[in-house]
Amino acid sequence: MTRMMTAIGALLIAGTAQAQDGDALLAMSWDEIVETARGGEVNIFMWGGADTINAYVSDYIGGILADEYDITLNRVPLADTAEAVNIVLGEVEAGAGMDDGAVDMIWINGENFRTMKQGDLVWCGYVDKLPNASLVDFENPAIANDFGVPVEGCEVPWSRVQFAFAHDTARTPEPPRSIPELLDWIEANPGRFTYPAPPDFTGAAFVRHVFTHAAGGADALVGPFDQEKFDAVAADTWEILNGIEPHLWREGVTYPTSITQLQQMFANQEVDLFFTYDPAEIGTAVENGIFPETAMSYGLSDGTLANTNYMAIPVNAANKAAALVTQNLLLSGEAQLEKAQPEIWGAAAVIEPSRASAEVQEGFATLERHPSVVPVEELGQAALPELTPDWTRAIEDGWIRNVGN
Amino acid sequence: MAGSATSAIEVIGRGHPWLSLAPALCVIAVLFGGGLVLGLAGSFGMGRGGAGVDAWIAVLSEGRVWRSLGLSLWIAFASTALACLIGLGAALLLRRRFPGQGLARLLFQINLTIPHAVGALGILWLLSQSGFVSRLSAGAGLIDGPAGFPALTQDRFAIGIIAHYVWKEVPFIGLILLANMQSLGDDPESAARSLGASPFAAMRLVLLPLLMPALIRAGAIVFAFSFGAWEVPVLLGQSAPVALPVLAWQRFTDPDLATRPEAMAIAMLIALVAALLIRVAMVRR
């Protein structure tokens, strides 16, 4: 209900905003764009489940926007990014004017991005305009492709994350450190492991780890969707997952429905292992007293999935100039460094520190990390590329039909 | 009144009932009816280039949808039946005069103001396997650990969901019945007693039939709510099958746009089934 209210509120706000034509903006110089944006506002729709992230965007980014550009940042929290895609889709379908949409920016990646790109719902071709885009290595395939979908100037990278597991060193000193080890561990420790049921994002990512293992490694799954290959690998995957089911929490009769629920269960010692797509979260949970200080995140020897997340501007955004200024700010060396501070958020930077100012480089070099968070470099030694949305969708549907029913 | 100036409202008030109802009906027609029409159009894929019954065929031929429908019907029937029964019993007890009656009534009604989501979280803290009752039992040595506690939330029989709805709706039913009894007064029962009926017979043969219309109306509201609400089953439900509203929401937030019409079709199905069942209950009276 509150979500609906905020969405409706944002719609009303947007209705009064001055419309901006995207093509006209692209013909302007950066200084002209900044002048156009001055005194305006920007409505950012983003997953709102972490206080640290919310504070970083509202206070730090919002503060700079207000002080330096006189731009008001409205952060609209979402439980699911698809909600924002729905709003844009509804507006475009309803044939509303192309430049008065309620959503100016969405924190996005993967399937939602593909949906927007395929539906021509996302604004493209402005990335060269952003001065700070020069800090990003767009040649890096991990940045140029969003879950296997070519970005092609339709979104701007923001952070990089890599999947990690977590255990309590006091309770489980020797956690399983690869998928095969985990499968054995589950059998040896009945009732002490479970994963959120897809379509939960993190639960689906866990299933993809098992799928990648069943395929014999990530290399076997590179490239476009292949039904024959999928059928073969999927059969093995469902066999593995149905095989461990009797040894899961509640004998696998039911699964947690969200990653938040699994976090609670790990905190309550109902299960012994936790996992997350954002290892910085483990440090935050320890700081907040949700997890004990002995909680520790770790990677797998056979690799964990890694992805980049982005900020996209809908094609019908009302405040495109302010959105561009915001995107440029998000990419600045200072903002990326602030975001990487463990007590702020602890999110891995998407820029090349070597291209930033000496001060920022120094900052990154001396960055402290929370003792419970596995170092980015250590995780990065075994990073698996994300599968394309065709694969992830087929795996999710297959899990629901064959395992989770 | 004669001779004095009459206000516009009084004129409308004296006019045709439809005229005086018009403002309220407009709000219902635009906000509620408009949403229903748009949802129905969406379920036929309108506004998405094509129009057809594909989504309805997909939804109605899918086993998961029927399992979800079954679960939602079970939740709604069980919650309504228990809430009506307990609410009726409580109302009969509370209408008597006894010391501290005011306080008892206040305590009885106090949870009416608590939002459903808050109540559901309370149930979770109380009844889940790592909840308060489980820890208490473990502390008292009744069970070995959290896993030894029976699964009362995220469970196969939706016990947590039903417990929440009963807890929340008993005061609602009770309140409506108490108000109803107050307007009926003691006269019908007294008359029956003076004609020789036992207290129980007077209640069963005189009071209950008089209360029945109110009980059925209140029950219909509880049924429609517990059948169509999303927040309680999403917090307390198991992963499969999910309640029908949860399934509709999953389809609606699916990144694949093709599932939007299915989400709308499921939402329409919820409205249709609830309306049909309530209609049947009302007519059978």
Interface residue B153 vs chain A (CB under 8 A): no
**Please, which residues bridge with residue A282 across strands?**
none
First CA to last CA across chain B, in angstroms?
Answer: 41
pTM (two decimals):
0.80
On whether both B68 and B158 belong to a single domain, the answer is yes
**pLDDT of res. A96:** 63
Q: What is the pLDDT of residues A41-55, one digit of tens each?
A: 999 999 988 888 999
Look-up of token digits 């955004």 = A317
Handedness of CA A157, A163, A169, A171 (dihedral sign): positive
Residue B49 lies in a domain: no
Q: What dotted CATH number matches A162-306+380-402?
A: 3.40.190.10
Q: Name chain B contacts of A83, Cβ cutoff 8 Å.
A: 253
On whether both B11 and B135 belong to a single domain, the answer is no
Which residue segment(s) compose the domain that B237 sits in?
54-283
Q: Which one of A121, A249, A254 makes the best mutation probe of the B interface by having the most chain B beta carbons within 10 Å?
A: A254
Interface residue B240 vs chain A (CB under 8 A): yes
Mean pLDDT of B48-63: 84
Please name the residue of chain B whose CA is at the shortest distance from the CA of residue A403. Answer: B240
Please name the residue of chain A whose CA is at the shortest distance from the CA of residue B154. Answer: A254
A268 CA: distance to closest CA in chain B (Å): 6
Low-confidence ranges of chain A (pLDDT < 70): 1-20, 96-98
Interface residue B151 vs chain A (CB under 8 A): yes
CA A320 → CA A39, A40, A59, distances in Å? 13, 10, 21
CB contact under 8 A, A404 and B240: yes
Of B42, B221, B255, B253, the C-alpha closest to A3 is B253
For residues A145 and A309, what is the distance between their CA atoms, to the nearest angstrom? 10
Q: Is A173 helix (H, G, I), strand (E, B) or coil?
A: coil
Of A387, A318, A301, A363, the C-alpha closest to A110 is A387
Look-up of token digits 């379509």 = A199
Residue A199, preceding peptide bond in cis (omega within 30° of 0) = yes
Residue B14 lies in a domain: yes
Question: Radius of gyration of chain B from Cα atoms?
Answer: 24
Identify which of B130, B240, B250 has the shortest CB distance to residue A270.
B130
CB-count burial class (<10 Å; 0-12, 13-18, 19+) for B8: exposed
**pLDDT of res. B258:** 79
Of A199, A207, A163, A197, the C-alpha closest to A307 is A163
For residues B100 and B108, what is the distance between their CA atoms, to the nearest angstrom? 12
On whether both B38 and B165 belong to a single domain, the answer is no
CB contact under 8 A, A257 and B254: no
CB contact under 8 A, A393 and B256: yes
CA A388 to chain centre: 15
CATH of the domain at B259: 1.10.3720.10
**pLDDT of res. A346:** 86
CB contact under 8 A, B240 and A115: no
B147 CA: distance to closest CA in chain A (Å): 7
Count of domains in chain B? Answer: 2
Backbone angles phi, psi at A196, to 5 degrees: -65, 140
Q: Name chain B contacts of A199, Cβ cutoff 8 Å.
A: 250, 254
Q: What is the pLDDT of residues B168-213, one digit of tens each?
A: 999 999 999 999 998 888 888 888 888 888 888 888 888 899 999 9
On whether both B143 and B95 belong to a single domain, the answer is yes
Identify which of B129, B155, B239 has the shortest CB distance to residue A255.
B239
Of A340, A344, A343, the C-alpha closest to A353 is A340
Q: DSSP for A179-222?
A: HHHHHHHHHHSTTS---PPTTSHHHHHHHHHHHHHHTTSGGGG-
On whether both B108 and B168 belong to a single domain, the answer is yes
Per-residue DSSP letter, B30: I
Per-residue DSSP letter, A347: P
A290 CA: distance to closest CA in chain B (Å): 14
Identify which of B151, B252, B255 has the shortest CB distance to residue A112.
B255
Segment 39-58 of chain B within 8 Å of chain A by CB: 47-48
**pLDDT of res. A282:** 92
CB contact under 8 A, B130 and A94: no
Q: Name chain B contacts of A93, Cβ cutoff 8 Å.
A: 47-48
Residue B255 lies in a domain: yes
For residues A148 and A307, what is the distance between their CA atoms, to the nearest angstrom? 10
Pairing between β-strand A41-47 and β-strand A105-108 as defined by DSSP bridges: parallel
Q: What is the pLDDT of residues B241-260, one digit of tens each?
A: 999 999 999 998 888 777 88
**pLDDT of res. B100:** 86
**Whether the Cβ atoms of residue B156 and residue B238 lie closer than 8 Å to each other:** yes
Number of A/B CB contacts below 8 angstroms equals 70
B47 CA: distance to closest CA in chain A (Å): 6
Mean pLDDT of B62-75: 96
Q: What is the pLDDT of residues B86-138, one digit of tens each?
A: 999 999 988 888 888 888 888 888 889 999 999 999 999 899 888 889 889 88
Q: Which one of B126, B130, B236, B239 makes the best mutation probe of the A interface by having the most chain A beta carbons within 10 Å?
A: B239
Class of domain A2-158+308-368: alpha beta
Token pair belonging to B72: 């939602």
Token pair belonging to B204: 């069963």
Token pair belonging to B85: 């029964």
Identify which of A254, A268, A269 has the shortest CB distance to residue B239.
A254
Token pair belonging to A101: 């949409």
Identify which of B130, B250, B257 has the shortest CB distance to residue A265.
B130
On whether both B157 and B36 belong to a single domain, the answer is no
A95 CA: distance to closest CA in chain B (Å): 10
Token pair belonging to A103: 């959503």
Of A21, A46, A24, the C-alpha closest to A330 is A46
On whether both B109 and B188 belong to a single domain, the answer is yes
For residues A203 and B66, what is the distance between their CA atoms, to the nearest angstrom? 25
State yes or no: pLDDT of B215 exceeds 60.
yes
On whether both B73 and B189 belong to a single domain, the answer is yes
Backbone angles phi, psi at A305, to 5 degrees: -65, 145
On whether both B184 and B65 belong to a single domain, the answer is yes
On whether both B19 and B158 belong to a single domain, the answer is no
Per-residue DSSP letter, B53: S
CB contact under 8 A, B130 and A93: no
Residue B193 lies in a domain: yes
For residues B102 and B97, what is the distance between their CA atoms, to the nearest angstrom? 9
**pLDDT of res. A280:** 86
B3: confidence class by pLDDT, cuts 50, 70, 90: very low
CB contact under 8 A, A254 and B240: yes
Look-up of token digits 């209140």 = B218
Residues of A at the B interface, defined by Cβ within 8 angstroms = 80, 82-83, 85-86, 89, 93-94, 110-112, 114-115, 119, 191, 197, 199, 249-250, 253-257, 264-265, 268-270, 389, 393, 400, 404-405
State yes or no: pLDDT of B270 exceeds 60.
yes
Please name the residue of chain B whose CA is at the shortest distance from the CA of residue A80. Answer: B253
Token pair belonging to B1: 């009144």
On whether both B35 and B66 belong to a single domain, the answer is no
Q: Treating both helix axes as pointing N-terminal to C-terminal, what angle do B132-139 and B116-127 enclose, rounded to 10 degrees?
A: 20
Pairing between β-strand A72-78 and β-strand A41-47 as defined by DSSP bridges: parallel
**Please, which residues bridge with residue A108 across strands?**
A310
For residues A278 and A258, what is the distance between their CA atoms, to the nearest angstrom? 15
Interface residue B147 vs chain A (CB under 8 A): yes
Where do the CATH 3.40.190.10 domains begin and end in chain A? Answer: 2-158+308-368, 162-306+380-402
Q: Name chain A contacts of B242, Cβ cutoff 8 Å.
A: 257
Helices marked H in A305-388 — which ranges?
A: 320-331, 333-340, 358-365, 376-380
Helices marked H in A67-145 — which ranges?
A: 82-93, 110-118, 141-144
Backbone angles phi, psi at A287, to 5 degrees: -60, -40
CA B132 → CA A7, A184, A341, B158, distances in Å? 36, 33, 37, 19
